[in-house]
Amino acid sequence: MACRGARCVFDCPSGRTLCDASCVDLQTERSHCGACGVTCPPGANATATCTSGACGLTCNAGFANCNGLAGDGCEVNTASDNGNCGACGNRCATGMCSAGSCGGGRTIPGFTGQLGPDYSTSGWQQCVGYLDRLRVDDIPLMGWATPCIGAGYRQLRLACGASASSVRYIDVSRNVFASSLTGYPERGLIIGSNFTFLGNEIYAEGMNPNAGRSWWGGGGGCDERALNLTINNTCDWDAANCFGQLVLGERYLYVYVHP
């Protein structure tokens, strides 16, 4: 404050302007950027900035504008994006992007469970593995595939067999644990297998295979000769049918994810 003409007035130093009873730098102040009252808004994944009297945005840690989009633009999570892992343009050739680094291992970070076949050379990483015993609740009804849900986990491989060296599997084009199904059944999602299957259908109670009974590759019931896989159905086995291998004893269920 200063006394001028017998009045108390604000006396802002050079380079500062009086705005709302405060002396501010209009070149850098985010609440008065370029002029009093001009507030720079933040973005969804960005912090507002004021530089040379113009509003801008700085991406928050772990996010980047890799696609050159106007506005916010900080749409890429470099901690988990397989095409921009750790930095824009750094694509993971194999494995998943986790904490900004490409993982080339055979399992996702923090994996626990029965270890299945190693498909890591093709970019697959195992997310769950169960040993299913006769009339024992080995595979929980709710959340049995929760570890397979992640930002970079876009495709699925479900494998079932008497051992890790003897499995049949199907590949699913979309991670239906993360996005659920769009119909009962949803057709056309199976894009590959290591055997000849009959039906390209996936069913799930409530459209959510992670929260109820589900049928993969067709709607066959409790018949070990059926060429589908049914999980948590009213069968003697939690993982029943095993894609028609006629496995009459304990069996393994493995699930993998792919970018």
Cβ atoms of 208 and 180 within 8 Å: the answer is yes
Lowest average pLDDT, out of 80-89, 115-124, 181-190, 241-250, goes to 80-89
Instruction: Tell me whether residue 148 is exposed, middle or buried, using C-beta atoms within 10 angstroms of its C-beta: 0 to 12, 13 to 18, 19 or more.
Output: buried
Cβ atoms of 125 and 96 within 8 Å: the answer is yes
Given a cut of 70, whether residue 93 has pLDDT beyond it is: no
Give just the sign of the alpha carbon dihedral 228, 230, 234, 239: positive
- The pLDDT, as a whole number, for residue 94 is 60
- The pLDDT, as a whole number, for residue 86 is 83
128-150 mean pLDDT: 95
77-92 mean pLDDT: 83
- The pLDDT, as a whole number, for residue 208 is 96
H or E element that contains 161: strand 155-163
Give just the sign of the alpha carbon dihedral 236, 239, 241, 246: negative
157-171 core/surface letters (b: 16 or more CB in 10 A; e: else): bbbbbbeeeebbbbb
Lowest average pLDDT, out of 15-24, 79-88, 177-186, goes to 79-88
- pTM greater than 0.75: no
Lowest average pLDDT, out of 80-89, 136-145, 202-211, goes to 80-89
pLDDT digits over 165-215, tens only?
A: 999 999 999 999 999 999 999 999 999 999 998 789 999 999 999 999 999
Given a cut of 80, whether residue 98 has pLDDT beyond it is: no
- Peptide bond before 185: cis, by omega within 30 degrees of 0? yes
